[in-house]
């Protein structure tokens, strides 16, 4: 059985403007790799309702799992929850269980649970809350879509909450070999090797060191023995100088 497939939708003008560097995709890719879920696509969209709804509908019908990050805070430009409701065609409003979590949290802090903060308790009908032990404000899941915060520490906590509920497959294994030759020299034999191992993924990542070009060749797959055989052939093709 092939591994489940996944996509990520990163939402926020601050990512596209370069003001904020996204760390969540890197973290999610690592966690999915260990869990046996193949992250196949990542899209970044602005804080635009039509763009978010369009991207979400395309991804949720094309992949087994979709994770979103960003846009579920208390400010006017946090519109992700509304967009999820629109994409699924359901009502959204302040939900009692989410409100109770936040009310208790702000009461403990002695902070007013004002109208802006109450926006974070707005949940689409039919959604399941995602636990957030860091800042309490929940994410939520709708069918195969898991809606999470953009703040990395909160995003990571939400991934930890959701991951056990996502069916995984075989963890992706990898090995690499550093080859001190240019890609133009190794391309043909590497392509022939890749053709002999269709169940493995082989990638070449070039670098330059002290004026000499080389490449890190990475072989990935779920069968450790097959990776070992392919790596042995790779090493024989390009003996270290």
173-237: what fold?
Answer: Alpha-Beta Plaits (3.30.70)
Do the Cβ atoms of 69 and 148 come closer than 8 Å? yes
pTM attached to this predicted model: 0.87
pLDDT mean over 156-165:
96
94-127 residue pLDDT tens: 999 999 999 999 999 999 999 999 999 999 999 9
* 3-state SS class at 88: helix
Residue 240 confidence (pLDDT) = 78
The domains of the chain are located at 5-165, 173-237
188-211 residue pLDDT tens: 999 999 999 999 999 999 999 888
* Superfamily of 5-165 according to CATH: MoaB/Mog-like domain (3.40.980.10)
Do the Cβ atoms of 134 and 154 come closer than 8 Å? yes
Neighbours of 137 (CB within 10 A): 20
38-91 residue pLDDT tens: 999 999 999 999 999 999 999 999 999 999 999 999 999 999 999 999 999 999
CA quadruple 209, 212, 213, 214: dihedral positive or negative? negative
């Amino acid at each position: 059985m092939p591994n489940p497939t996944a996509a990520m939708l990163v939402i926020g003008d601050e990512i596209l403007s370069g003001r904020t560097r996204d760390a969540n995709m890197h973290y999610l890719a690592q966690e999915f790799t260990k869990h046996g879920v193949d992250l196949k696509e990542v899209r970044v969209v602005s804080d635009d309702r039509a763009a978010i709804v369009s991207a979400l509908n395309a991804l949720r019908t094309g992949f087994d799992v979709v994770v979103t990050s960003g846009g579920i805070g208390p400010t006017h430009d946090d519109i992700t929850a509304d967009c999820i409701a629109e994409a699924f065609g359901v009502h959204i409003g302040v939900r009692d269980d989410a409100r109770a979590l936040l009310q208790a949290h702000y009461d403990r802090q002695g902070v007013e649970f004002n109208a802006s903060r109450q926006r974070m308790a707005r949940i689409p009908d039919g959604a399941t809350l995602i636990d957030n032990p860091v800042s309490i404000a929940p994410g939520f899941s709708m069918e195969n879509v898991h809606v999470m915060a953009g703040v990395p520490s909160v995003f990571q906590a939400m991934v930890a909450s959701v991951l056990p509920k996502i069916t995984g497959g075989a963890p992706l294994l990898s090995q690499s070999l550093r080859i001190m030759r240019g890609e133009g020299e190794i391309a043909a034999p590497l392509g022939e090797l890749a053709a002999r191992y269709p169940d493995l993924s082989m990638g070449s990542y070039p670098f330059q060191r002290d004026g000499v070009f080389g490449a890190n060749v990475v072989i990935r797959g779920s069968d450790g023995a097959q990776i070992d055989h392919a790596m042995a052939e790779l090493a024989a093709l390009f003996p270290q100088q």
